[in-house]
Chain A
């Protein structure tokens, strides 16, 4: 959000026109350019940026993959998918100029020679297209391919640039599968790129409402005095989806909900809700505060894990009235799979602000609704006057997706002669108040990486600390002895009863979504 130390002097003509680091001309090299992510997300995002005038004209996209393809074939494949997935309709003339800057580079990730040829090609593009020696490498490939790609980039000297230029690398999730592999991967990355050059993507952070959490907390004086253990009773974070595992079974079978969603997205959201105010809006100030939250997460012993974490898997049921199969019957899933498709956690942040305030998190597939929301439940008013019989708390809800917005539940008197009090909701919808649709998360994140702003990207210590928290849970689940139970829930329900018990024990219940 702020200019980093290595940012150059600002362009005087930009004053008043751009409130964030300006994206620089560059070559964006996408490793895995014939894959799903490139076609569904990355190139549509880049096209939308170009169509909105946000992309500098001197940006070139070079796709790197092993299939044989000409530049023209690659462009026409991308055109087809962009027409399908773009946020805004594709205009021929805009696509045609945009596509002129797209090239295809055929090579194996493991072939060193391919990178040397790439380096030569990028140098030529610098001369012909004004990309000024800046390189943004996007690893849109499977995690097993990160190491050969990073090593070969270094071997070809592509991790280094001349003075005044930069090389950066964007790494897709999953960033490791546990602490050891994340450390290994960080080591591999560090061998080729410094931390300042590394951008670990978490697309949840690119969402408008996730960014708005900091604004809500630190631009509104009314919340800050209340944002602590004295006034907050509990926090709940839910990421629910109606979808099943779909075509991702191969990956999901080895990951599960905890690794796929909690280690990254949900912990990142929790950090935004729980962090202390940063000293400024620079990437590192914000990330310094975020990592403190992860560090303060209470670690459990093996026996405590069963009491605080519930894992479950969906069985057959119905979604939107349609029957759906159970997880174990899905394609490419082991019929005896132990992979969790649902997890609920009862967490504590052991620091001055949050001591003893439980954070309940749940994430699951094949739940009745698709919604990602954070709710902050405030403590009850003293049990006198109107409050003797009141059961509902004041709740502030931050809706991340869909229907992005914020609502606040307060109590009001029902009109009439009696003193009946009922909860009412004050509701703010982004879509209602701001007609303009929000940009896709990838648009924002790509722009930030081009501008050198790492605020919305995870730092190595954040990732490692999150794994350090997750690992003992995974170990307990996969241990030979006394592994906590894997529960089952019918597709279309809100998870197993055990997840409700997690809160019921504390005299609380999940928020009704």
Chain B
């Protein structure tokens, strides 16, 4: 298959994705900590031309990787094209000897989809040195845009030492379990924090978000009531995943198990599992590691019908097909974007509570 970018003259109503207009990816002007709000006001006041300041949420991102301020600033520049927010970008050097916090302010501006107005999101960047975990809650809480929800994108492993007050303020915590070395202990910590916040925090695992389009593609095979009976006859499942993405594949299995009421019956190896479904039916699950997309292909067999979701060569399209007695009808669907900007955007668009994720987790937590 030949992959092409979209072509053709867009129609009258066609509105292109907002191109970054005045984007420098710089951290902006350094500001004294106590004067951030005043400096932000000045920033807007001095802005040239028709600028609109927009915000739907506070999006805080925390990392301890050196250089993450620049990297995350670049990500924020792209994320704010579709999700207006106040961005708080934080890099922490917890091993520094003395305590010190530096701050910068900047704006990400994009041409709005309506007219030529520039829509701008503000970013406050912080470099924390020293006792970061004590400094962090205060830095976040004192710089929130009021009345807007707080989404915290945590790019590190979770630790017990983080102030619990912070968690009571967080509406959604975003993380990527794909990078976790010890899944169970991380999950335990997260659940503890969630309890401390009266289960108010929504857990947003980008490893789960990675599966959104794949889940969607597989689910649509069973929309028609006449195909529901196929669900109870599933006997085989094969998932091809890229090295390092076993947990992503396992989450997918967990989703099917939770929704279709399968239980783990036997763990033959890390790559071969057996589940048991209703009326004692066995479902054999094979996990194959091979290069490609995080989860590259899913093949579900139900009696004489095979349901396949696989990445098309283009990488951003999924080929979905249902094969019965050699007859196959492949169709294309969007695959979504697996880079951090794509995943975060998907997560922010979808919203809602993630109880399906929690159910999936409960089914497979011992396998991770």
Contact = CB atoms under 8 A, between A and B. Distances in A.
A53 B213 contact: yes
11 contacts: A11-B219, A13-B219, A22-B220, A58-B329, A85-B12, A130-B329, A429-B114, A432-B112, A432-B119, A434-B56, A435-B84
A53 B222 contact: no
Interface in B220-262: 220, 222-226, 228, 231, 256, 259-260
Contact of A17 (B52, B219, B224, B260): B219
Nearest to B56: A433
Contact of B8 (A16, A84, A437): A84
B55 to A, nearest CB: 8
B215 A13 contact: yes
B7 A22 contact: no
Interface in B51-103: 52, 54, 56, 81-84
Contact of B112 (A51, A91, A429): A429
A436 interface: yes
A91 B6 contact: yes
A94 interface: yes
Contacts of A82: 8
B173 interface: no
B216 interface: yes
Contact of A11 (B12, B82, B113, B222): B222
A343 to B, nearest CB: 26
Contacts of B222: 11, 13-14
Interface stretch (B36-44, B123-131, B284-292, B330-338): B330-338
A303 to B, nearest CB: 44
Contacts of B356: 15-16
Contacts of A51: 334
A471 B81 CA distance: 49
Interface residues of B, number: 66
Given A17-B219, A91-B4, A93-B332, A403 B9 contact: no
A251 B60 CA distance: 56
Contacts of A91: 4-7
Nearest to A435: B82
A83 B9 contact: yes
Question: Could you say which of A17, A57, A92, A429 has the most chain B C-beta atoms within 10 Å of its C-beta?
Answer: A57
Question: Could you say which of A53, A431, A434 has the most chain B C-beta atoms within 10 Å of its C-beta?
Answer: A53
A12 B10 contact: no
A21 B312 CA distance: 28
Nearest to A129: B329
A46 to B, nearest CB: 13
Contacts, number: 154
Contacts of B333: 53, 57
Interface in B156-183: none
Contacts of B1: 93
A143 B18 CA distance: 41
Main secondary structure of the interface of A (DSSP, over half): loop
Nearest to A94: B332
Given A57-B220, A93-B314, A434-B82, 7 more contacts: A11-B222, A12-B260, A17-B212, A17-B219, A403-B114, A430-B114, A431-B114
Nearest to B114: A431
A18 to B, nearest CB: 8
Nearest to B314: A93
Contact of B18 (A12, A403, A435): A435
B144 interface: no
Interface in A1-39: 8-9, 11-17, 22-25
Interface in B297-351: 312, 314, 317, 320, 322, 327, 329-334, 349
B8 A57 contact: no
B220 A92 contact: no
B225 A8 contact: yes
Contacts of A23: 223
Contacts of B13: 85, 87, 440
Contacts of B48: none
A88 B334 contact: no
A176 interface: no
Interface of A: 8-9, 11-17, 22-25, 44, 50-53, 56-58, 82-94, 97-98, 128-130, 132, 164, 402-403, 429-437, 440
Question: Could you say which of A13, A85, A86, A94 has the most chain B C-beta atoms within 10 Å of its C-beta?
Answer: A13
Contacts of A429: 52, 112, 114
A403 B222 CA distance: 39
A90 B7 contact: yes
A433 to B, nearest CB: 6
Contacts of B11: 44, 84-87
Contacts of B331: 57, 97
Question: Could you say which of B3, B14, B56, B312 has the most chain A C-beta atoms within 10 Å of its C-beta?
Answer: B14
Contact of A86 (B10, B84, B231, B312): B10
Contacts of B231: 12-13
Question: Could you say which of A14, A23, A94 has the most chain B C-beta atoms within 10 Å of its C-beta?
Answer: A94
B135 to A, nearest CB: 32
A14 B224 CA distance: 11
B223 A14 contact: yes
Contacts of B84: 432-433, 435
Nearest to A133: B226
B355 interface: yes
A24 B226 CA distance: 11
Contacts of A13: 215, 218-219, 222, 231, 256, 259-260
B261 to A, nearest CB: 9
B34 interface: no
Nearest to B260: A12
Contact of B224 (A24, A52, A85, A430): A24
Contacts of A44: 11
B140 interface: no
Nearest to B312: A93
A511 B26 CA distance: 44
A437 B112 CA distance: 10
In order of increasing CB-CB distance, the 4 nearest A-B pairs are A89-B6, A83-B8, A435-B82, A57-B331
A113 B115 CA distance: 52
A57 B215 CA distance: 15
Nearest to A404: B114
A56 B314 CA distance: 21
A313 to B, nearest CB: 27
Nearest to B334: A53
B232 to A, nearest CB: 10
